[in-house]
Chains A and B, each alone.
Chain A
Amino acid sequence: MAPWLASGLIYSSGLALTAGSITMIYITTRTFNFAVASMATFGFYISYTGVALYGGAPYQYYPFVFLFGSFLGLICYFGLNRHLLNRKAAEITLMMSTLGYDLLLLSFIQMYADFLTHAYRLFPRRVTMNVYDFELFGTRAAAFILPLVTVAILIILHLFLTRTKFGVAMRATIENPVLSKASGINSDSVYLVAWIIGGGMAALGGSFMAMAMTGTPVMGMYTIPLMFAGAILGGLGSLYGGMLGGFLIGITEYAGVFALSQQFGPWVQGYRMAIPLILMAATLIIFPRGLAGIPLGKLIGKLTATKRGENT
């Protein structure tokens, strides 16, 4: 596997999870979760602490990463989001509140990095997680494992949302909060579960992304526009769309940078952020509701059923 493809797959898996987390929390609670940035960075630091202090492969610490992310989501829900939802706050207020939470977490991350440096003589401010990875079929194992984990999470989520009673209740709340409340669904617990799953996915996504890029305390801060770009590309309507959007954003960035730097030289690397942003802007201009807004059925209908005159 080409190195750019390997890194691209790892990175896109991380972006898919973070974008999925943003979508998950948005469709349930109408909250644009800024705190995904710091949750992701925290996720990376949990896996880093694990491998640096106790050894082994980064993968074995992913359950802890997920749990810690869920814990952060839980705090955000009980400390902040719940009160604002009860108050029926505006979307912007919800967004700002998570920004405040994100900045709090960011300061704790910085302090934690200082603490790691002081107490364990580590260098947590520039980390390449690659060195802890092992080889599989001639490339990094992460290039195989992480996309598979992402797909597995997607399948588990799909089963959860379609096959379990709570998942169906969750979908009902997403579709119509008032009606589902009237039919006896406890929306409070639905929001709580959304934050738990969303937080875990964000933290896991961050630890995935750190396998492809340099892990720093401001890693999440710098990649948050891309996570949002993925969620917006997915249309912020369905979880699957969000994860697909994140994946597309990541893989286009790596493929685009690879192709363009072959063509124009390595200086393209510096402007890599432009590629996903142009993709996002183009999507927003053409399909303001993202990938989910592409009228696929209509387009196919136009191609196949023009005789019946259905496109009126």
Chain B
Amino acid sequence: MTTETGIKSSLKEFITRKEVPVIVIVLALLTYLFASRGVPIILTIFIDFAVFAIITMSLNLETGYAGVPQFGRVAAVIAGAFAVGAIPGRILAWFMDLPYGLEYASDAVNFRIVPEINALLASSWLLSIGFLLFSLIIAAISGALIGWIISRPAIRLKEAYLGISLLAFGDFLMWVGHNWSGMVGGSVPIYVPDPFRIFAVDRFTVIVLVIFVAAFMVFIYMNRLARSPFGRSMRMIRDNDISAAAAGIDVVKVRTQSLVIGSAVAAIAGGLYVIYTGTCTAFGFQKLTWTFWPWAFMMLGGIGSTLGVLLGVFLLTILRTMIVIFRHQWFGFLLNIGIDPLWLEFTLLGAVIIGVILFMPHGLVPEKVEPMLPKSRVNKIIESRRLAKGE
């Protein structure tokens, strides 16, 4: 029935107006990245931005859309990170007749096995890509599983109780990883096989590209999800769960589903981060970094608006990295009384959260309630109905 045909219309179907500026910005950033190749600060900012964008978008799905106070975001990230740290490397070790049991993670063995696996990965394109995809799938599955397990005792609770239970679970998972040295080495970091070894010098640039693509796909997915019937029922539950239940929505089921999907997405980010750093250690996953920073990003950007979340992550990541890098130049006076300016990172985090709550409760880009279909399409549907009726 449409008058437009071909690629243009299908592209129009696929990409909505809201996503166009994001695509343009992402392309511009990537161009800038390649122009300034090899500058570590910029690479760090880019990677932090992309990883935390994925995590914050998943947090936004659960908190912004479904209204679950997810104070245990770190649990899903840990699930992904541990899965990628523990499972794919072991499978390759098993194929290569290397030790793959509990001793894989012991610090006396691990540093000798992983280079051999890396050598194998560097020899074959297909194997590297397969390894990467397999790692991400494993991460997503374990994230979804953890999300489901967390949701079991807690999902029926009132909001604050739920938040505390999630927080406690995230902490508990970190301690398990820290104490069970057979999984990811406990207190000693283990090495993670590197599927990007094949790119040699360009490794970091390629990783940035991959994580960016992943973040962009998550962005598109979240936008689709927000406008789907599932997204609508999530928002309805968030706004009023009693009326949602009265309208026939299974509140517990939808909340559980949102937790499972969000956890799977966050776990992919965790897996990607572990592959990027090349090591995996339980103490690297503190709730300060992986739960509270994403909350600050989300609150600055605007709870419930995906675009705002991206903006929040972008601004704060730059600010945070700047503080870490230029702390001695900017805050050198603190060193005179023995204080490491690194702690200003937490000051910033706390100040952002307080400032946003007090002065900007809806964030930079407030959530906009908009019709599920553009007005022109609604009119078209009405028109076609009329024609069909023969009026």
User: Contacts A97-B354, A115-B338: A221 and B288 contacting too (C-beta < 8 A)?
Assistant: yes
**Interface of chain B residues 153 through 189 with chain A (CB within 8 A):** 153-154, 156-157, 159-161, 163-165, 167-169, 171-172, 175-176, 178-180
Residues of A within 8 A of B180 (CB): 270
Q: Which single residue of chain A is at the shortest CB-CB distance from B291?
A: A99
Indicate whether A119 sits within 8 Å of B337 (C-beta atoms), given known contacts A100-B353, A107-B344, A281-B165: yes
Range of interface residues on chain B? 35 or more
User: Do residues B161 and A284 form an inter-chain contact, with CB atoms below 8 A?
Assistant: yes
Q: Which of B120-178 contact A (CB under 8 A)?
A: 153-154, 156-157, 159-161, 163-165, 167-169, 171-172, 175-176, 178
Mask: chain B, 65-76; 1 = CB below 8 Å from A; 0 = not: 000010000000
Instruction: Decide if A80 touches B354 in the complex (CB within 8 Å).
Output: yes
Please state if A271 and B176 are interface contacts (CB–CB under 8 Å): yes
A82-113 interface (Cβ within 8 A of B): 83-84, 89, 91-93, 95-97, 99-108, 110-111
Q: Does B347 contact A (CB under 8 A)?
A: yes
- Among B164, B171, B287, B349, max chain A CB count under 10 A is at B164
Select one of A100, A118, A232, A281 contacting B337, CB under 8 A. A118
B94: Cβ under 8 A from any A Cβ: no
Q: Does B38 contact A (CB under 8 A)?
A: no
Complex: A80 Cα to B358 Cα, angstroms? 8
- CB of A1 within 8 A of chain B? no
A288→B171 CA distance, assembly (Å): 22
Minimal Cβ-Cβ distance residue in A for B180? A270
Q: List, in ascending order, chain A residues with CB within 8 A of B338's CB.
A: 114-115, 117-119
Tell whether, in the assembled complex, residue B157 and residue A284 are in contact, meaning their CB atoms are under 8 Å apart. Answer: yes
Q: Which of B300-346 contact A (CB under 8 A)?
A: 334, 337-340, 343-346
B292 within 8 A of A: yes
Residues in A neighbouring B354, C-beta threshold 8 A: 80, 97, 100-101, 104
**Cβ contacts under 8 Å, A91 to chain B:** 159-160
Chain B residues with CB under 8 Å of A100's CB are: 349-354, 357
Q: In the complex the two chains form, is A277's CB within 8 Å of B295's CB?
A: no
Q: Is the CB of A225 within 8 A of B171?
A: yes
Given contacts A92-B160, A225-B164, A273-B172, contact A107 B343 (CB under 8 A): yes
In the bound complex, how far is the Cα of B287 from the Cα of A105, in angstroms? 16
**Contact yes or no, B160 A95, CB < 8 A:** yes
Interface residues of chain B, those whose CB is within 8 Å of chain A, are 69, 153-154, 156-157, 159-161, 163-165, 167-169, 171-172, 175-176, 178-180, 287-288, 292, 295, 299, 334, 337-340, 343-347, 349-354, 357-358, 361
The 4 closest A-B pairs by CB, nearest first: A118-B338, A270-B179, A100-B353, A103-B350
